[in-house]
């Protein structure tokens, strides 16, 4: 069976770093043993000259892969930006990437055949890094469908910058819906509840950048508000039970309000205890 053609979907906004974006794009195209057939770049509102230069070079053929550029007049947020990108993807199989992470060379060669074999959504482990020369902790998600469904009631079962999915399955679950900072979790929970065929690859196929406030973004009142909305939606959708809702609001809500240093330490201890974070090599 030949591998299906697939699109790479990558959103960019003014807060992204130009050098990180250039590295992310190169890792997802020229360095891949199975490169995408097109790159869909969604520019979520106006960007500065450095980011615009990276985008211009990509559009001019600098990636060696056809590029579709989707410029949005104003910043509309991640969910709407991704919906705009999905609408123009030429292929049903879509790989996601973020503007500050690095995909390892064998990423798509490992994931795309699994989608071709019948899966609707495939993620992978990720490895934290501040510099590529010294990668750190590995986050290993649940691997099989049963474990993923169980885990989805309490935490996101996929590392969001690592996923490859069928656009048709995303559409069947209602697509990306606006929920600041938790759009991906809400989509994945609905896909699992809708019966999507899912799995995770245990190898860390993506290097996840943890500098520049990665842990700071896990907390604060804005994220707490999104957390409360998420938990209410998951309960209405039948993803969680009432006791699970209460547990999630208490545990995840308190976590959002902890100081960043405490949150960072607590996250790592908690993930080591449940086996989803291991020391990297």
pLDDT tens for 208-251 read 998 745 554 555 677 788 889 999 999 999 999 999 999 888 88
**What residue has token string 């989805």?**
152
**What is the sign, positive or negative, of the torsion defined by CA atoms of 114, 41, 105, 132?**
negative
CA dist., res. 102 & res. 28, Å (int): 7
Q: What is the mean pLDDT of residues 174-181?
A: 93
Contacts of 173 (CB under 8 A, 6+ apart): 187, 190, 191, 193, 194, 196
pLDDT, greater one: 123 or 2: 123
Residue 266 has pLDDT above 70, yes or no: no
pLDDT at residue 107 in the model: 98
pLDDT tens for 189-219 read 999 999 999 999 999 999 999 874 555 455 5
**What is the sign, positive or negative, of the torsion defined by CA atoms of 174, 179, 182, 183?**
positive
What are the domain boundaries of the chain? 6-214
pLDDT at residue 261 in the model: 63
DSSP-derived secondary structure letter, 194 = T
Give first-to-last CA distance, the chain, whole Å.
34
Q: What is the mean pLDDT of residues 100-119?
A: 97
Determine the distance from the C-alpha atom of residue 95 to the mean position of all C-alpha atoms in its chain, rounded to a whole number: 10
What angle do the packed helices 145-152 and 183-193 form, to 10 degrees? Answer: 130
Of 113, 89, 78, the closest CA to residue 187 belongs to: 78
Residue 272 has pLDDT above 80, yes or no: no
- How much of the chain, in percent, has pLDDT values that exceed 70? 87
- Residue ranges in 89-236 assigned as alpha helix (H): 107-116, 145-152, 167-172, 183-193, 221-236
Position 281 confidence tier, pLDDT thresholds 50, 70, 90: very low
Q: What is the mean pLDDT of residues 138-166?
A: 95
pTM: 0.88
CA dist., res. 87 & res. 187, Å (int): 16
Position 276 confidence tier, pLDDT thresholds 50, 70, 90: low
Residue 40 has pLDDT above 70, yes or no: yes
Of 140, 245, 152, 138, the closest CA to residue 198 belongs to: 152
Domain 6-214, second-level architecture: Alpha-Beta Complex (3.90)
- Residue ranges in 60-152 assigned as alpha helix (H): 78-88, 107-116, 145-152
Could you give the count of Cα atoms lying within 13 Å of 114 in the half-sphere of its Cβ? 23
3-state secondary structure of 165: strand
3-state secondary structure of 180: coil
Residue 188 has pLDDT above 70, yes or no: yes
pLDDT tens for 75-103 read 999 999 999 999 999 999 999 999 999 99
């Amino acid at each position: 069976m030949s591998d299906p053609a697939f699109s790479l979907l990558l959103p960019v906004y003014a807060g992204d770093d130009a050098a990180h974006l250039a590295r992310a794009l190169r890792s997802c195209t020229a360095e891949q043993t199975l490169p995408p057939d097109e790159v869909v770049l969604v520019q979520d509102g106006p960007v500065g000259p450095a980011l615009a230069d990276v985008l211009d070079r990509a559009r001019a053929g600098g990636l060696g892969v056809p590029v579709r550029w989707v410029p949005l007049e104003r910043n509309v947020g991640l969910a709407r930006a991704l919906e705009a990108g999905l609408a123009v993807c030429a292929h049903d199989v879509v790989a996601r990437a973020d503007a500050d992470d690095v995909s390892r060379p064998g990423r798509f060669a490992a994931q795309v055949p699994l989608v071709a074999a019948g899966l609707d959504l495939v993620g992978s482990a990720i490895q934290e890094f501040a510099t590529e020369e010294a990668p750190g902790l590995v986050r290993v998600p649940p691997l099989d469908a049963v474990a993923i469904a169980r885990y989805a009631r309490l935490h996101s079962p996929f590392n969001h910058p690592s996923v490859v999915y069928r656009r048709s399955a995303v559409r069947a679950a209602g697509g990306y819906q606006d929920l600041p900072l938790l759009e991906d979790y809400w989509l994945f929970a609905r896909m699992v509840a809708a019966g999507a065929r899912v799995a995770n690859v245990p190898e860390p196929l993506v290097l996840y950048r943890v500098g520049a406030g990665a842990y700071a973004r896990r907390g604060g009142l804005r994220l707490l508000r999104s957390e409360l909305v998420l938990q209410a939606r998951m309960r209405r959708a039948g993803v969680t039970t009432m006791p699970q809702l209460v547990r999630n609001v208490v545990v995840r809500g308190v976590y959002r309000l902890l100081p960043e240093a405490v949150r960072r330490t607590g996250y790592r201890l908690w993930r080591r205890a449940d086996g989803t974070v291991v020391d990297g090599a």
